[in-house]
Structure 1
């Protein structure tokens, strides 16, 4: 069927949302070392920054899907943006009180908004066009998520990280007042950046509210309209793969700065630049992957990339110094296509059940709440380098999902009108 006349503009507008949530989530690798210092946390405790962000996807993905089923994609997007803005504004009082619990609460509210945005925008971008181009279209939109991933640590490193890390010995030699002043200054560094983020998100919400968007109804397929989603084996396997992939992605990025410090001997501001460079590779990987999918079937490319990433993580664990850091930087490039490709392969052919199926795949993002904590525990018990075995094993699960999809042919990726 032909696209709605304003679908090209709609695709552009929805693509901008991928940038917004990518920017928010990719500030976490900056917040983790920053709040670890400001709130005096262990590795495992600081990993709860990711948990607060990603647990929302598990809690709200299905309610978000049900909300959109009743009020449409646009309604879900507006609610998501409003929650996003409220959470960003809560960073101001959280920093004023220097309460880690308050910070986690603010991050959870932001993530609730992101859950609505992702539950709406990911399937919306896939059905807003020709079905055979769904994987390419979502990878293109996710490329702007990659752009945000590049800019977030770069700007966060400039405006949030102070570059001043005091050792336990130095802190113990200071008076309680000087220690409190130092920690308060560190915490306050997030206030202005998050006020700006909240303001920008509100402006986008207003723009979307005033802009008509085509509401798309998934195709009612006779052989798909009935039955439980639990019978959709590929969807369930995709949920598992996404769970492990997001866990791997968050582990790789969130612990990168501390890995670079401890293994590569790179100070935190410089490490943030290394991370920004790695995420530039992530963004480039999205564009390059979108192009390669014209010649290589998405499942085959996914299998190739997940195999390479398993090898790169092994190198990061086994090598020493900056070579280990460079190996991790390479992992970012080959992670680039994984989330959108797993997503599009998981929900293909679901027809009338696309929104509900999308909710399940979005729920799987909770992997980002679990695996970083596991890696944090491993790091506290051993070393940060050994902890990277955790994401390495996750990539093997992605490889299995890709392998199961390689021989699936002539199946519409997503029903579209």
Structure 2
């Protein structure tokens, strides 16, 4: 049963807001890394564990979240996630008074768990609200809104954090917005997906006949036997790790290695995210003319070449190349996500859980990159061979990995 067009448009608009919100949260991390380096007297490698604490939640939580979504609904998961993330954001006010690095890491984990609810629910929900053939374009449009949030976080919120050092005010505001958004979702009727309608039908039939509700798996591990989903999980692991390695270390690279001041570096970070935003909007438009997997292959190979230039030359040349990397990273995540979910039907929620779990690459690959930069300060730029390898996996997925068994 397809949702009516008006209901579907409203649902898409509201879900697009979620993409914007979690972009604000995740793209504040590079700024917080720089801030915590100064405030807690950390080196590059130590500060990189800020990313680990945040993205570890994306490995631990997706399976329980997928079970929650299967038992209840996408809407219930979204509301719970918004409230949990808001709780974490409010905790920054007392944490800033204590100023202990471990406390900050725990709070980042709480916020990330809430955002993980949003991502595990929102990504597949967007693919199911419409024609399956246009799902990649629809998800890229949603991720273009995500890119707008990333740009605002990098260009404006980063200056508020580094400029005053009172980052708790930024997070208190974010928490308020999350609570307001949760309230809107509570009072909005969202369309049910075909899977949710079928679950409701079975429960209604069981109540009518006074029998037990038929057992259904809350999480289906057999989905990993599907080739294009399995390769999609691998590709997402490496993409997320490569993207976050470049994003999270951008300000550190500019300030500690390229000799750029913090004020200029935050402006450059905003421009960097503007390239990401432009890449998503342009990529979404081009996807109406070109096959998604072909665009994925071309964009990933472009990043392989740009990372090679960064690894060889470093310095200001590296900063310029990172702008290009940001542009060409733009469509990779949503394109891989939608290609991996193609044809999964009732296994979509389980598939989405494993794809979101792949974000754990963010908690591992940036640390390797930061370790190399810290260990070899004279040739720090060779660390960018790590994201280069990551984009090679993405290129493979656009070349062969996306192909379905059927």
Q: Determine if the TM-score, normalized by the shorter chain, exceeds 0.5.
A: yes
Residue in structure 1 matched with residue 110 of structure 2 by the alignment: 109
- Contact 1:241–1:342 (8 Å) recurs in 2: yes
Residue in structure 1 matched with residue 351 of structure 2 by the alignment: 357
Q: What does residue range 235-254 of structure 1 map to in structure 2 within 5 Å?
A: 235-254=229-248
Residue in structure 1 matched with residue 138 of structure 2 by the alignment: 137
* SS state at 1:41 partner: coil
The alpha-carbon distance between structure 1 residues 159 and 227, as it changes in their structure 2 partners (threshold 3 A), is closer
Determine whether 1:202 maps to 2:179.
yes
Superimposed CA distance per residue, residues 195-235 of structure 1 (whole angstroms, 9 cap, x where no aligned partner)? 11101110000111111111212398xxxx99921321111
Superimposed CA distance per residue, residues 67-90 of structure 1 (whole angstroms, 9 cap, x where no aligned partner)? 000110000000100111011011
- Contact 2:221–2:350 (8 Å) recurs in 1: no
Q: Cα offset for 1:157? A: 2.7
Residue in structure 1 matched with residue 321 of structure 2 by the alignment: 327
Residue in structure 2 matched with residue 347 of structure 1 by the alignment: 341
Superimposed CA distance per residue, residues 232-252 of structure 1 (whole angstroms, 9 cap, x where no aligned partner)? 111111001000000001001
C-alpha distance in 2, partners of 1:307/1:89?
A: 41
- The normalised TM-score by structure 2 is 0.91
Segments of structure 1 that go 5 or more residues without pairing to the other structure are 163-184, 412-417
C-alpha distance in 1, partners of 2:93/2:107?
A: 10
Residue in structure 1 matched with residue 169 of structure 2 by the alignment: 192
Superimposed CA distance per residue, residues 6-64 of structure 1 (whole angstroms, 9 cap, x where no aligned partner)? 11111000000000001100000100111011001121111111111111011000111
- Contact 2:54–2:109 (8 Å) recurs in 1: yes
Which is further off, 327-336 or 150-159? 150-159
Residue in structure 2 matched with residue 397 of structure 1 by the alignment: 393
* SS state at 1:218 partner: helix
Quick one: which of 360, 367, 391 aligns to 1:366?
A: 360
C-alpha distance in 2, partners of 1:20/1:362?
A: 17
* SS state at 1:160 partner: helix
The alpha-carbon distance between structure 1 residues 407 and 157, as it changes in their structure 2 partners (threshold 3 A), is closer
* SS state at 1:325 partner: helix
Determine whether 1:62 maps to 2:38.
no
- Contact 1:299–1:405 (8 Å) recurs in 2: no
- Contact 1:350–1:357 (8 Å) recurs in 2: yes
In terms of fraction of residues, the more helix-rich structure is 2
Superimposed CA distance per residue, residues 299-319 of structure 1 (whole angstroms, 9 cap, x where no aligned partner)? 110000000001101111222
- Contact 1:74–1:213 (8 Å) recurs in 2: yes
Residue in structure 2 matched with residue 217 of structure 1 by the alignment: 194
Q: What does residue range 251-330 of structure 1 map to in structure 2 within 5 Å?
A: 251-330=245-324
* SS state at 2:63 partner: helix
The alpha-carbon distance between structure 1 residues 323 and 228, as it changes in their structure 2 partners (threshold 3 A), is same
- Contact 1:94–1:100 (8 Å) recurs in 2: no
* SS state at 1:247 partner: helix
C-alpha distance in 1, partners of 2:192/2:19?
A: 19
Segments of structure 2 that go 5 or more residues without pairing to the other structure are 199-216
The alpha-carbon distance between structure 1 residues 334 and 227, as it changes in their structure 2 partners (threshold 3 A), is closer
Which is further off, 382-391 or 140-149? 382-391
Residue in structure 2 matched with residue 121 of structure 1 by the alignment: 122
Alpha-carbon RMSD: 1.8
- Contact 2:232–2:402 (8 Å) recurs in 1: no
Q: Cα offset for 1:321? A: 3.2
- Contact 1:298–1:341 (8 Å) recurs in 2: yes
C-alpha distance in 1, partners of 2:251/2:45?
A: 15
- Contact 1:84–1:111 (8 Å) recurs in 2: yes
C-alpha distance in 2, partners of 1:326/1:300?
A: 26
C-alpha distance in 2, partners of 1:228/1:198?
A: 38
